[in-house]
Amino acid sequence: MAEHPHHLQRASHALADDGQVWLVDPIDALELDERVRVLGQPVGVIQLLDRHARDSVALARRWGVPLHQAPAVGVTGSPFQVLRAVNLPFWRESALWWPERKTLVVADALGTASYFLGPGERLAVHPLLRLLPPRVLGRFEVEHVLCGHGEGVHGDDAAPVVREALRRSRRGIPRWLAGLARRRDTAG
């Protein structure tokens, strides 16, 4: 989780497989290179959201690895399936499905950051996508969901949690707005 700005609860992910490491939506940090190399050799940087560069360009250049920006097709040599989570004129977001690990990786489409969540929600669709939820993300039997904002969701109930977030995204807008208003009142 990136330290600044803290309220965004930005998360990056290093996915390691057979000594190879792919960085997803990375944010540069102290000792990042050392932490990545403990996992293996960096082989690629994946930017899942078209406008979500973070430090992807700089890190791909520093490590001399390819940068895959919002890929619409697979990432060569990786164990991931790439799918288009959101395909709107103002929002192009890919997601990664790692079948062997039952892991779904998203940038902004789903999240656990406080500003995504309404009362009682563990995982939610991004507030700007609640009217058009990315239903394609509900077709997998996930055990791990790695989000670009907030902590991941892990365990046997991860798949039902994803499906519930997608199912309730529209209906949950009033509760989300009420929760947002309550948070503003207590913060100010």
Domain boundaries, the chain: 11-187
Of the candidates 116, 119, 98, 118, which has an alpha carbon nearest to the alpha carbon of residue 108? 116
Per-residue pLDDT, averaged over 30-41, amounts to 95
136, 175 Cβ separation under 8 angstroms = no
pLDDT at 53: 86
Per-residue pLDDT, averaged over 103-112, amounts to 97
Kind plus residue range of the DSSP H or E element containing 156? none
Q: Is the pLDDT of residue 101 over 90?
A: yes
11-187 falls under which CATH superfamily?
Ribonuclease Z/Hydroxyacylglutathione hydrolase-like (3.60.15.10)
Q: Is the pLDDT of residue 67 over 70?
A: yes
Joined tokens for residue 152: 């991941």
- Separation CA 150–CA 56 (nearest Å): 19
Q: Is the pLDDT of residue 1 over 50?
A: no
- Separation CA 125–CA 89 (nearest Å): 18
Range among 111-115, 156-160, 170-174, 178-182 rated most confident: 156-160
Q: Is the pLDDT of residue 185 over 90?
A: no
Lowest pLDDT segment from 4-13, 31-40, 112-121, 142-151? 4-13
pLDDT at 188: 53
pLDDT at 148: 95
Between residues 96 and 30, the one the model is more confident about: 96
Per-residue pLDDT, averaged over 93-106, amounts to 98
Residue type, 21: V
